[in-house]
Structure 1
Amino acid sequence: MKRPRPPLDSAQMEALALRYAERFATTRAKLAAYLHRKLRERGWAGEEGAAPRAVEELADKFAQRGYVNDRLYAEAKARDLTLRGYGSRRVDQALRVAGVGDADAGSAREVASEGAVDAALKFAARRRLGPYAQAVIEDPRARQRAIAAFLRAGHSFALAEAIVRLEPGAEPDRDDLAERR
């Protein structure tokens, strides 16, 4: 039978935070959530009621040292999701889940906005829709399902509809698609 691990003190909590930050790209909020989870699992050996304050101080300290940087995390996440074919709404959702604030998410939103057409076309290629399809989607319900897939991936309705309506094999006019988004 496993013996329970001893409660955390501030030095052990800092060691856990450092290990987490070196292994994962993270934000202040995700680091704080991880430390709160560890405190729930193991308990706190310090002064009663000081644990939440210690977690926030440690997250602030790591942000000041540059171990976690919400703005850089947001930009990297936006580039990654855009390259994988996801739209700006999906990027915003991922940043909210990661706890990135509006001030740090601004440049990430620009990255997602600039790459919106390329991301939508990449999504269309992966799903074999629009110019990458085998045949034109004649069935209105099938067209609605294709547009709904674009919407779930975070793309705008106008852009999704424009891509789905393109003829198979047609060369997409990126300028026209950019105006539609």
Structure 2
Amino acid sequence: MAHKSPNRQTERRARPDRAPRPLDQRKLEELGLSYVARFATSVAKVEAYLLRKVRERGWEGDAPPDAAGIAARYAELGYIDDEAFARARSGGLLRRGYGARRVDQALGAAGISEALRQDVRPEEGQQRRAAVTLAARRRLGPWSRATDGTAQRETREKQIAAMLRAGHGFEIARTVIGAPTTAWAEQWAAEAEEPE
């Protein structure tokens, strides 16, 4: 019988699970700074992150944790920019084919104010381009594998439902799914993108 080398994991001593040390104001600020250095984020997301860390690790400071104050100070210093975050997040979702409603939901979940969400709301051309992008990526409407380019009623309804779930309005979804050809759909999207 061949000699087996011992498994390194079994050789290691089992370390007792140590509870992380509770946070104080200085440690909380360090966590916040580390978070904003790694991620593009919003003021509300930083505040939620810091409060979650306090719940997980506990608090040993004399005063209650000031997660909102830390997030606000980082915004004043320019480490967090809700407008830049909203524009980047909106653009990324549109490029992936999501519609205006889905963009608005994502920004709301990130704590972006209603006024700022209205400022970055996609225009008609962006909405059409996103719908065409999603249809092409998911092979919907004229991009489907149907040989004649037209979907049966049930398939068409399912494709429209997929577009609606992605945040597109009914008229945009119906137009893209009902497009006679991919070239027509591309032209329809391009028409709204052209400056007047």
How far has the Cα of 1:161 moved from its partner?
0.7
Alignment counterpart, residue 146 of structure 1, candidates 156, 159, 180: 159
Please state if 1:158 is matched with 2:171. yes
Which protein is richer in helix relative to its size? Answer: 1
TM-score, normalised via structure 2 length: 0.82
Aligned position for 2:92:
80
TM-aligned CA deviation for residue 2 of structure 1: 2.1
CA contact (8 A) 2:141 2:159 kept: no
Change (3 A) 1:72 1:4: same
Deviation for aligned residue 1:165: 1.1
Q: Which of 47, 68, 78 is equivalent to 1:56?
A: 68
More displaced, 80-89 or 160-169?
Answer: 160-169
* Compared CA separation, residues 176 and 159, structure 1 to 2 (3 A): farther
| Aligned-pair Cα RMSD in Å | 1.9
Which residue matches 1:35?
50
So what's the TM-score if we normalise by structure 1? 0.88
Maintained 8 Å contact 2:143/2:182 = yes
When Rg is computed on C-alpha atoms for both structures, the one with the higher figure is 2
- 2:132 counterpart (100, 105, 121): 121
Alignment deviations for residues 48-102 of structure 1 (CA, whole Å, 9 cap, x no partner)? 5x22xx1111111011111111111000001000111111001001001111111
Query: What residue number does 2:23 align with?
Result: 8
Partner SS for 2:120? helix
Specify the alignment match of 1:174 in structure 2: 188
After superposition, the Cα gap between the structure-2 partners of 1:177 and 1:5, relative to the gap in structure 1 and judged at 3 Å, is same
Preserved CA contact (<8 Å) 2:125 2:190:
no
Paired residue type of 1:106: Q
Q: Distance in 1 between matches of 2:176 and 2:128?
A: 10
Asked whether the 8 Å contact 2:98–2:131 carries over to 1, the reply is yes
Show structure 2 runs of 5+ residues with no match: 1-15
Q: Does 1:105 align with 2:120?
A: no
Structure 2: distance between partners of 1:147 and 1:106: 25
Q: What residue in structure 2 maps to residue 130 of structure 1?
A: 141
Identity %: 41
Instruction: Return closer, same or farther for 1:79/1:96 CA change in 2, 3 Å cut-off.
Output: same
C-alpha deviation, 1:122, in angstroms: 0.5
Check conservation: 1:31, 1:59, Cα contact below 8 A. yes
Match of 2:7 in 1: none
Q: Summarize the Cα distance change of 1:42–1:112 in structure 2 as closer, same or farther, 3 Å threshold.
A: farther
Structure 1 unaligned regions, length at least 5: none
In structure 1, what is the Cα distance between the partners aligned to 2:191 and 2:97?
15
Q: For the residues of structure 1 that align with 2:124 and 2:181, how far apart are their CA atoms?
A: 26
**CA 73–169 in structure 1, closer or farther in 2 if over 3 Å, else same:** closer
Q: How many Å apart are 1:47 and its aligned residue?
A: 2.0
